[in-house]
Structure 1
Amino acid sequence: MLLSQVAGKVGLDFSGHDIDVCGVNTLTLAGPGEIAPLLHRKYLPQLASTRAGAVLCEQRHAPEGASCLLSKSPKLDWARVVALFARPQGCLSGVSPQAFVHPEAELGDGVTLYPFVFVGARTKVGAGCTLFPGVYVGEDCEIGPGGVLYPNAVLMAATKLGANAIIHAGAVLGSDGYGYAQSPHGHVKVPQVGNVVIGRDVEIGANAAIDRAALESTKVGDGTKIDNLVQIAHNVETGKHCLIISQVGIAGSTKLGDGVVLAGQAGLRDNIALGDGVQVAAQSGVGQDIPAGSVVGGSPSMDAATYLKVSLSLPKLPELMRRVRRLEKAMEPKESGHE
């Protein structure tokens, strides 16, 4: 399409010539028919050598005479531009004869089921959903309109997905929570009889695991985005629009407010609460409630300012220990030489 058409679709102004564009690429790899983004000032030197036909950037960085999409929020607008050229996954439509759909299940209009999908009894699949090969959906599940389940995703019994949910390959929702009672003869499994409830516009990454509740529901709020390899235990509840990054682990019955950000490999103990807008740094260990708006890091977690001071001090510890030993030696009482 023409650059002017791209600009119109995403609500941006453009400068320079109105060229034909056929795709998107990086500043270093883009050709004359592609749009490239300038998302950070560290890439400014690449503007001089890029072969891109057009650049999406802030107006202050636009090269004179070049074809540019002018943006006040380049990262957000770049997402919209890429969406115009992104090709959806998949090549089939309709219900494959190799999919199994229980006679008591309900399929909405325009559903696509690839070969080897299983849909259990009394499950409802909303209009326009796509289930890729190997997807298992147990009995009494609900999948809202527009949902996409990629290969080998699993919804155990009674799992509920809101509209436009995206579940990536290998994710498991509704597996048993980790509950055992101790006895003289070993560990006795406590049946987990709750379910998992996922809100609208939620995306869950590959190989993530969200356990069913012991009772009631494990809940993920609207708009929350969960990365690959995340573990969310039974009876956890997240607020709306949280960001949970790869390899985070959240123990049972912990509550997250709206807009919480958990960076990679953060670990949260059970039965704590994080208020709205809390941010937790990577590899932090959180063992207590955290009030709304706090930024914490470290293990055990502490406020961000203290965490930064501790982090800066750690490399100095060996030299500090040597100095302490020298001071201790200097302060030792000297022998008088008399018997």
Structure 2
Amino acid sequence: MLVSELATRIGARFAQGPDADVTRVCALDDSCADGLSFLSSGRHLKGLHATGAGAVILAPEFVGEAPCPCLTAENPTLAFARAVELLHPRQRAPVGCHPSAVVAGTAVIDPSASIGPLCVIEDQVRIGAGVEIGPGCLVQRDSAIGDDSRLTAAVTICAGSIIGKRVLLHPGAVIGRDGFGFARDGERWVRIPQVGRVRIGDDVEIGTNSAVDRGAIGETLISDGVKIDNLIQIGHNVQVGENTAMAACSGVSGSTKIGKNCTVAGAVGMAGHLTIGDGVHFSGMAMVTRSFEQSGSYSSGIPAMPSADWRRNVARFRHLDEMARRLRRLEDEVAALREMQATE
């Protein structure tokens, strides 16, 4: 479409250059005369100066730096996301059930839904309007999937799970598996039956091979707008607040409550039964072993360093307690000496 038309449809402003056609999106350093790219920040000005894109979305202050037609927006990344949807519309799956799908007679499926090859839909399942269930998915009994949600492929929805509207579940996601609950019987572990369920709100996205465990009793809750990356484990009875985002390889132990608008960077580990307040942000590989109810940014872990430095530091770790005790004795001796001098 014309750059001017695209600008209108994504809420941007056509700032400069000829009103050219764009047909696709491209990287800033690509050479594609019909492509649309974007500048996310001033750190990438070098790429902007050399770009071969047909048009670029950027912030207003960078218009003079661009060698091509420009669309300006206060949030170029958001405007670009909207442009991608327009230039690369998703092809919907055909409506109806594939002949190889196995659908229970008591399942209630909206006529506008799509059930792909080799899917299994069990008893009392409810599937809303516009839902797309891709190949190889399993939806177990008594589950419900809200309107316009999409299970891409090989997704498992375990019994009794509730999925909201416009939810996107990527390949291999497992929703509602039994939580990790066991009791000791001497030297043996006895499994505690998990009788709760999972409830997922609207506009949630859950990445590839991530798992959300059902509640042991009650619900595991993923609230509206939550975004969960690949390879993430959410334990039983966890609650994740609205619009929180979690990056890959993180794990949350059972019964922890995470507030709204939090961010959890990659490989963060959280202990169980914690309370994380609204607007809390954990940096990568943080080990969260206590509650953080005050909003803010929190970090832990040890940054990478040269191997020789690491080996020397590790060798000293075992002496830290001894050094701390010696320092305390020296501080006490200095304090006593000063007190003695003051009384003389």
For the aligned pair, the TM-score class normalised by the smaller chain equals: 0.7 to 0.9
Aligned to 1:52: 53
Please report how far the alpha carbon of residue 91 of structure 1 lies from its aligned counterpart in structure 2 after TM superposition: 4.9
Give distance in 2, aligned partners of 1:113 and 1:274.
39
Aligned to 1:224: 226
Aligned to 2:6: 6
Give distance in 2, aligned partners of 1:151 and 1:212.
21
User: Cα–Cα, structure 1 residues 245 and 292, in superposed 2: closer, same or farther, change >3 Å?
Assistant: same
Aligned to 1:139: 141
**Mean Cα displacement is larger for which, 232-241 or 80-89?**
80-89
CA contact (8 A) 1:251 1:269 kept: yes
* Matched residues, number: 313
CA deviations on 1:167-222 (whole Å, 9 max, x unpaired) are 00000011110011111251111000100000010000000001111101100010
SS in 1 for 2:52: coil
1:161 to 156, 160, 163: 163
SS in 2 for 1:265: coil
SS in 2 for 1:31: strand
CA deviations on 1:283-319 (whole Å, 9 max, x unpaired) are 11111110231321115xxxxxxx99xx9xx969948
SS in 1 for 2:202: coil
Please report how far the alpha carbon of residue 108 of structure 1 lies from its aligned counterpart in structure 2 after TM superposition: 1.3
Give distance in 1, aligned partners of 2:270 and 2:155.
25
Please report how far the alpha carbon of residue 267 of structure 1 lies from its aligned counterpart in structure 2 after TM superposition: 0.5
SS in 2 for 1:60: helix
For the aligned residue pairs, the C-alpha RMSD in angstroms reads 2.3
Give distance in 2, aligned partners of 1:30 and 1:131.
37
**Mean Cα displacement is larger for which, 227-236 or 58-67?**
58-67
Aligned to 1:179: 181
CA contact (8 A) 2:181 2:191 kept: yes
Please report how far the alpha carbon of residue 67 of structure 1 lies from its aligned counterpart in structure 2 after TM superposition: 0.9
Q: Once superposed, which parts of structure 1, at least 4 consecutive aligned residues long, lie more than 3 Å away? A: 63-66, 89-93, 314-321
Gaps of 5+ in 2: 320-325, 327-344
SS in 2 for 1:33: strand
SS in 2 for 1:53: strand
CA contact (8 A) 1:24 1:30 kept: no
Paired letter, 1:277: G
SS in 2 for 1:69: strand
User: Cα–Cα, structure 1 residues 91 and 291, in superposed 2: closer, same or farther, change >3 Å?
Assistant: closer
SS in 1 for 2:32: coil
2:84 to 82, 85, 89: 82
**Percent identity of paired positions between Structure 1 and Structure 2:** 33
Paired letter, 1:13: R
CA contact (8 A) 1:177 1:213 kept: yes
TM-score by length of 2: 0.86
TM-score by length of 1: 0.87
Gaps of 5+ in 1: 300-306, 329-339
User: Cα–Cα, structure 1 residues 241 and 23, in superposed 2: closer, same or farther, change >3 Å?
Assistant: same
Give distance in 1, aligned partners of 2:188 and 2:38.
59
